[in-house]
């Protein structure tokens, strides 16, 4: 083991470090290998392995960075995966592939010394025949969409307060516990009817179809949840089966899909009436929170009390206002305004009548003066006389009479009779 004494400590200059063991079997507790040396040994040993062709299905792929590609390739039959990394030409080729593609690729094993992690450095990748499962699912999606299976108008609303939930999941699955536990934490009285089914492999589609139809026929079930935990793209393929999708779309009871994690997707998500990102999310979205509902009830009660109190207070103010009105406390004041109106009308009538009489008097005086000025009496009053014949004609010319005619002469006061000589 390397001496760890401080350089200034006594005897430090006399201790020499031991040489590292050449082989692993030569290491001891006092003379171990550093981790970096072991990682280098791994790297050098793996570097001697020959390149190989491998076949599998892409379960994850990341080509976002230019010049590099990171894939996870899963065995076609076993639940075994391998990390594949490639650069340059391989990264350019990998951009043509998608999750779910079946591929063969060539590369060499490699050890990343920083973490002593085994990986596979790819240098060539090719598609396997018609193994593009994503393309097949996309073709099925377009066909079913054309039939109207995914139309929004066909979706059935989820009941606000379900009493019983039908749950389709694998036996002893974590998804079952997640759904039941979280649902009862939010709504303790909720009940469940659980139907176990295969959620992976060839038995998955018929089992899921039978479970959905069984729960749909149960009148006590208010909503159905089809739940499964996360998995690879191939693990979830059963929930993109055409029969499962059609059974989901034909279900009369509202149905919720809770398959995989948030990034996973299957065709059942499009046919279901609601899609939840996880089984836990499905439980939270289907049942209400009892605490929130109690708060809503308390808030509603408070608003009702406030509104009733405000209505009563308003009515009390109106009653007090009516009681304090002068019309009730001093009823005679109700006659003040009409009396003022009558007095004002009487005054205006008196003034109007006086004005009419004055105007009429003035007019009479003016007419009297005009009549007086035009009266023959006024002329007589100035010393003139009116001479008339016995027939009553006024004599205006001396030639109109002759000697011996009888005339009547009207003066200011009285008249006289005269004979013309």
Each residue of 254-301: pLDDT tens digit? 999 999 887 778 899 999 999 999 999 999 999 999 999 999 999 999
Mean pLDDT for the chain overall: 86
Return the percentage of the chain with pLDDT > 70, whole number.
95
Task: Note the pLDDT of residue 129.
Answer: 53
Overall pTM > 0.85? no
User: What gap in Å lies between CA 295 and CA 191, rounded to an integer?
Assistant: 23
Structure tokens at 91: 């990264």
pLDDT band at 237 (very low <50, low <70, confident <90, very high): confident
Determine the pLDDT at residue 16.
61
pLDDT at residue 208, as a whole number: 95
CATH code of the domain occupying 133-288: 3.40.50.261
Own/partner long-range contacts of 92-98 (Cβ < 8 Å, ≥24 apart): 93/124, 93/125, 94/61, 94/63, 94/69, 94/122, 94/125, 95/63, 95/69, 97/58, 97/61, 97/125, 97/127, 98/58, 98/61, 98/132, 98/134
**129-138, 217-226, 356-365: which range is least confident on average?**
129-138
- Tell me: pLDDT of 9 over 60: no
Query: In the sheet that 406-410 helps form, which strands lie side by side, from edge to edge?
Result: 386-389, 406-410, 415-419
Highest mean pLDDT among 224-228, 332-336, 413-417: 224-228
Mean pLDDT confidence for 105-129: 86
Tokens standing for residue 70:
């990171």
3-state secondary structure 125-172: EEECCCCCHHHHHHHHHHHHHHCCCCCHHHCCCCCCCCCEEEEEECCC
Q: What is the mean pLDDT of residues 357-378?
A: 86
Which fold is adopted by the domain 36-128?
Answer: OB fold (Dihydrolipoamide Acetyltransferase, E2P) (2.40.50)
Stretch among 11-25, 48-62, 122-136 having the lowest mean pLDDT: 11-25
Q: Contact, 120 vs 78, CB < 8 A?
A: no
> Residue 97: its pLDDT value, please?
87
- Asked if pLDDT for residue 396 goes beyond 60, the answer is yes
- Count CA atoms within 13 Å of residue 98 on its CB side: 8
b/e sequence 17-35, b meaning 16+ C-beta within 10 Å:
eeeeeeeeeeeeeeeebee
pLDDT at 17: 67
pLDDT tens digits, 185-230:
999 999 999 999 999 888 899 999 999 999 999 999 999 999 998 7
pLDDT (average), residues 381-402: 81
Instruction: Give the start-to-end residue ranges of the domains of the chain.
Output: 36-128, 133-288, 377-420
The predicted pLDDT at position 7 comes to 44
pLDDT at 362 over 50: yes
Residue 385 is predicted with a pLDDT of 83
Is 161's pLDDT higher than 90? Answer: yes
pLDDT above 90: percentage of residues in the chain: 47
Measured distance CA(85)–CA(67) in Å, rounded:
11
pLDDT at 5: 38
């Amino acid at each position: 083991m390397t001496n760890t004494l401080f350089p200034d400590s006594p005897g430090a200059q006399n201790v020499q470090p031991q040489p590292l063991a050449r082989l692993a079997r030569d290491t001891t507790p006092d003379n171990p290998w550093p981790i970096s040396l072991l990682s280098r040994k791994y790297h050098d040993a793996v570097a001697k392995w020959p390149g190989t062709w491998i076949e599998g299905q892409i379960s994850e792929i990341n080509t976002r960075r230019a010049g590099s590609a990171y894939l996870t390739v899963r065995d076609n039959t076993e639940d075994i995966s391998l990390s594949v990394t490639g650069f340059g030409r391989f990264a350019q080729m990998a951009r043509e592939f998608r999750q779910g593609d079946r591929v063969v690729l060539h590369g060499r094993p490699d050890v990343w010394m920083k973490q002593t992690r085994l990986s596979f450095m790819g240098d060539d990748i090719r598609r396997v025949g018609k193994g593009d499962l994503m393309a097949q699912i996309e073709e099925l999606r377009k066909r079913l969409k054309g039939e109207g299976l995914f139309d929004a108008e066909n979706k059935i609303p989820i009941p606000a307060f379900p009493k019983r939930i039908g749950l389709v999941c694998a036996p002893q699955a974590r998804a079952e516990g997640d759904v039941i536990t979280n649902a009862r934490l939010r709504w303790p009285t909720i009940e469940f009817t659980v139907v176990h089914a295969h959620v992976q492999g060839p038995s998955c589609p018929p089992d899921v179809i039978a479970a959905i139809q069984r729960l749909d026929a149960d009148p006590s079930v208010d909503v159905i949840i089809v739940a499964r935990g996360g998995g690879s793209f191939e693990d979830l393929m059963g929930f993109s089966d055409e029969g499962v999708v059609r059974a989901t779309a034909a279900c009369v009871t509202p149905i919720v899909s809770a398959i995989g994690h948030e990034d996973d997707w299957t065709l059942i998500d499009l046919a279901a009436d609601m899609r939840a990102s996880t089984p836990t999310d499905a439980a939270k979205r289907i049942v209400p929170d009892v605490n929130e509902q109690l708060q809503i009830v308390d808030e509603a009660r408070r608003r009702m009390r406030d509104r009733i109190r405000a209505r009563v207070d308003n009515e009390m103010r109106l009653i007090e206002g009516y009681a304090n009105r002068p019309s009730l406390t001093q009823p005679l004041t109700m006659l003040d305004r009409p009396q003022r109106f009558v007095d004002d009308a009487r005054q205006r009538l008196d003034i109007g009548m006086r004005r009419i009489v004055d105007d009429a008097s003035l007019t009479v005086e003016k007419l009297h003066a005009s009549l007086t000025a035009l009266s023959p009496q006024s002329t007589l009053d100035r010393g003139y006389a009116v001479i008339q014949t016995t027939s009553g004609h006024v004599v205006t010319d001396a030639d109109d009479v002759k000697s011996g005619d009888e005339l009547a002469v009207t003066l200011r006061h009285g008249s006289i009779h005269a004979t013309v000589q």
